[in-house]
């Protein structure tokens, strides 16, 4: 197959490479010319513009947009929509808010253009491990791009099969590492919840290691302290414990490099998915204390002191004469 790929950053570039490794052709475009050149060196067909890409694709054109969510993706899809033909397929492989997918799919459908949203997990490791993909869109369109998805997916590999999977009820593709989740938007919805869970898992480890580290703190009486080797603890939990996971593997690797993690500032970003996950939960009236606490810990990590903290001190001063003022 032949596929156009727009956006050749860390993710887009690796996606193009993995598709080519499987024997497909890619036409690639990025505003940053050297990124195009690098892919061309790896065998891709370069394009100077979206229109140039269109001219180099097949009669039924397939576009994979791999850009930051929001304006960059929105504008690129609008441009493609301007010249695409009925039957063409536009794939958004980024981190788009699923309600934007639903809106776009409806808009493109009026022109006979198919829209497929692909939530993609796997990060910088995807080129080698394959990408885990959650796909939304009409069945026909998803089936058309299936060879591309199959090429990107990790495949069954060495991961043990889940017992009791019933072939009749379930999608065989799941074992290959991708699923057709449902109509447009559902792919990004599932990916969004995936990221919400990711935040929760990460924060659970973070809090646990905080407690381990705090056990040597001088805040504690000397006889209550343990001086624990966090590197070894992360390592041992990888081996036979209930909490082994890929995130723990990454933690163990980071701690093995530097148990103090001094290279990291402690200011933690969040992309939109954590926020949207909480919104989705509220729309459904589902209680999500863990997922929200994980998100809020990141917000809190990015400020020195909240105004709210100062108000607490002001109240304490008001009722108790407690003084909590800067030195």
Contacts of a second copy in 216-235 (CB under 8 A): 217, 219-220, 224, 226-229, 231-233, 235
Residue 315 has a CB neighbour count (10 Å cut-off) of 11
Residues 258-287 interacting with a second copy (rule: CB under 8 A): 259, 261, 263-269, 275, 277-287
Alpha-carbon torsion, ordered 161, 164, 167, 169, to 10 deg: -130
Rg over alpha carbons for the chain, rounded to the nearest Å, is: 24
Q: Which is nearer to a second copy, 23 or 267 (CB)?
A: 267
Q: Is there binding between residue 316 and a second copy (CB under 8 A)?
A: yes
Q: What is the DSSP string of 72-94?
A: HHHHHHHHHHHHPPTT-EEEE-S
Query: Does 315 engage in binding with a second copy (CB under 8 A)?
Result: yes
Question: Among 23, 59, 71, 211, which residue sits at the site for a second copy (rule: CB under 8 A)?
Answer: 211
Residues 39-68 touching a second copy, rule: CB under 8 A, are none
Minimum CB–partner distance for residue 224 and a second copy (Å): 7
Would you call 233 exposed, middle or buried from its count of C-beta atoms within 10 A (0-12, 13-18, 19+)? Answer: middle
Q: For residues 7 and 130, which CB has a smaller minimum distance to a second copy in the complex?
A: 130
Q: Which residues contact 114 (CB under 8 A, 6 or more apart)?
A: 87, 88, 89, 90, 108, 137, 138, 140, 141, 144
In the bound state with a second copy, the residue whose beta carbon lies nearer, of 59 and 219, is 219
In a 3-state reduction of DSSP, which class is residue 173?
helix
- Closest contact distance (angstroms) between CB of 218 and a second copy is 11
Given the structure tokens 């599932």, which residue do they identify?
A: 190
Examine residue 22 and tell whether it contacts a second copy (CB under 8 A).
no
Least separation in angstroms between CB 58 and a second copy: 28
| Closest distance to a second copy from the beta carbon of 176 (Å) | 7
Specify whether 191 is catalytic.
Answer: yes
Please identify which of the residues 51, 198, 235, 279 carries the catalytic annotation. 198
CB nearer to a second copy: give 40 or 197.
197
Nearer to a second copy, 88 or 175 (CB): 175
Which lies closer to a second copy via its Cβ, residue 128 or residue 140? 128
Sort 72 into a burial class: Cβ within 10 Å, 0-12 / 13-18 / 19+: middle
Q: Tokens for 135?
A: 């796909």
- Tell which one of 71, 164, 168, 222 touches a second copy (CB under 8 A): 164
Q: Describe the strand order of the beta sheet including 114-121 as a list of residue ranges.
A: 45-46, 25-29, 2-6, 62-65, 89-92, 114-121, 132-136, 178-182
> In the numeric block, which tokens belong to residue 110?
């009026």
* Helix intervals (H) in 265-305: 272-284, 289-301
Minimum Å gap between C-beta 205 and a second copy is: 6
* 115 counts as binding a second copy under rule CB under 8 A: no
Q: Which of 70, 127, 111, 61 lies closest to 94 in space, CA to CA?
A: 70
Check binding of 294 to a second copy (CB under 8 A): yes
Q: Which range, of 27-35, 108-116, 142-150, 163-171, touches a second copy by CB under 8 A?
A: 163-171
Candidates 130, 144, 149, 273; binder of a second copy (CB under 8 A) is 130
Residue 198: active-site member: yes
Show which residues are catalytic.
191, 198
């Amino acid at each position: 197959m032949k596929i156009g790929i727009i956006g050749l950053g860390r993710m887009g570039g690796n996606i193009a490479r993995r598709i080519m490794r499987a024997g497909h052709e890619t036409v690639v475009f990025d505003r940053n010319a050297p990124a195009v050149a690098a892919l061309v060196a790896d065998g891709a067909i370069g394009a100077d513009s979206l229109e140039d890409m269109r001219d180099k694709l097949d009669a039924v054109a397939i576009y994979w947009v791999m850009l930051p969510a929001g304006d960059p993706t929105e504008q690129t899809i609008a441009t493609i929509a301007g010249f695409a033909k009925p039957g063409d397929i536009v794939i958004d492989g980024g981190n788009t808010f699923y309600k934007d997918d639903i809106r776009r799919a409806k808009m493109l459908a009026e022109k006979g253009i198919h829209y497929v949203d692909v939530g993609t997990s796997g990060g910088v490791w995807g080129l080698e491990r394959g990408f885990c993909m959650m796909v939304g869109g009409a069945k026909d369109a998803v089936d058309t791009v299936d060879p591309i998805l199959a090429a990107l997916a990790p495949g069954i590999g060495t991961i043990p099969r889940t017992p009791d999977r019933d072939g009749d009820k379930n999608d065989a593709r799941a074992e290959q590492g991708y699923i057709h989740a449902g109509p447009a938007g559902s792919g990004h919805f599932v990916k969004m919840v995936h990221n919400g869970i990711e935040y929760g898992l990460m924060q659970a480890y973070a809090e646990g290691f905080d407690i381990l580290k705090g056990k040597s703190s001088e805040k504690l009486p000397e006889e209550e302290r343990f001086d624990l080797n966090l590197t070894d603890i992360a390592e041992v939990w990888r081996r036979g414990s209930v909490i082994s996971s890929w995130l723990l593997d990454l933690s163990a690797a980071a701690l093995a490099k530097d148990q103090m993690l001094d290279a990291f500032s402690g200011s933690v970003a969040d992309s939109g998915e954590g926020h949207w996950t909480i919104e989705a939960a509220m729309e459904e009236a589902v209680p999500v204390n863990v997922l929200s606490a994980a998100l809020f810990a990141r917000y809190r990590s990015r400020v020195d002191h909240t105004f709210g903290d100062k108000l607490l001190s002001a109240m304490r001063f008001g009722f108790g004469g407690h003084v909590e003022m800067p030195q």
